[in-house]
């Protein structure tokens, strides 16, 4: 926890932002996260890791490489060059949309959705709804950090239909 920075009133008043960039600038933290994520998923048959824009790309790419899986980027509109499908959702500070390439996932894939932080769950729920449109064999969900002490109820909002793991709870 000493490597995790918290910033009050970012990106708007009333939000207490957990800044994972401080974890990423420390090589030992990256190594620990990489090893922990690999141990969680090495025997799950993951074929695709979906990294959520943008901080989910970092450890998502590390994990995809270690698992021998592909990396799929879930991005904001207009960032992917080929044909996409999209899902809009409410965040705690506004409306947003995620897109994935139409040819990114298929029904034989076992998918791990990865993002840096679970707060309300809105972004990940949208990513999961998007991935479910591809009808993959199975899905898992992972976060580096889960905020539990501020009444945000992210895990409860996601529900019991998918295995959710986190590395750090605060």
Q: What is the DSSP letter of 163?
A: E
Instruction: Domain 5-169: give its CATH architecture.
Output: 3-Layer(aba) Sandwich (3.40)
Catalytic residue among 31, 90, 92, 129: 92
Q: Is the pLDDT of residue 145 over 80?
A: yes
Tens-digit pLDDT profile for residues 73-94: 999 999 999 999 999 998 766 7
Q: Average pLDDT of 128-144? A: 97
Catalytic residue among 18, 55, 75, 99: 55
Tens-digit pLDDT profile for residues 36-60: 999 999 999 999 999 999 999 999 9
Would residue 163 show up in a list of annotated catalytic residues for this protein? no
CA-to-CA distance for 92 and 25, rounded, in angstroms?
27
pLDDT range class, residue 150, cuts 50, 70, 90: low
Q: What is the pLDDT of residue 27?
A: 96
Q: What is the pLDDT of residue 16?
A: 79
Q: What is the mean pLDDT of the chain?
A: 93
Q: What angle do CA 131, 161, 48 make, to 5 degrees?
A: 35
CA-to-CA distance for 73 and 163, rounded, in angstroms?
20
What are the residue boundaries of the structural domains of the chain, listed by start? 5-169
Is 30 within 8 Å of 62 (Cβ atoms)? yes
Q: Average pLDDT of 120-134? A: 95
Class of residue 86 by CB neighbours under 10 A (exposed 0-12, middle 13-18, buried 19+): middle
Q: Is the pLDDT of residue 120 over 90?
A: no
Would residue 83 show up in a list of annotated catalytic residues for this protein? no
């Amino acid at each position: 926890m000493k490597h995790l920075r918290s910033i009050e009133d970012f990106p708007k008043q009333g939000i207490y932002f957990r800044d994972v960039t401080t974890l990423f600038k420390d090589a030992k933290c990256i190594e620990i996260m990489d090893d922990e994520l690999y141990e969680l998923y090495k025997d799950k048959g993951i074929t695709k890791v979906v990294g959520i824009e943008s901080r989910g790309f970092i450890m998502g790419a590390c994990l995809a490489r270690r698992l021998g899986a592909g990396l799929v980027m879930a991005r904001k509109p207009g960032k992917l060059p080929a044909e996409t499908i999209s899902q809009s959702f409410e965040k705690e500070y506004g409306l947003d949309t995620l897109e994935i390439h139409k040819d990114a996932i298929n029904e034989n894939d076992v998918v791990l959705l990865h993002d840096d932080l679970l707060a309300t769950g809105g972004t990940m729920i949208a990513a999961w709804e998007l991935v479910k449109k591809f009808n993959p064999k199975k899905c898992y969900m992972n976060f580096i950090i889960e905020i539990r002490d501020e009444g945000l109820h992210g895990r409860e909002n996601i529900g019991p239909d998918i295995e959710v793991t986190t590395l750090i709870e605060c």
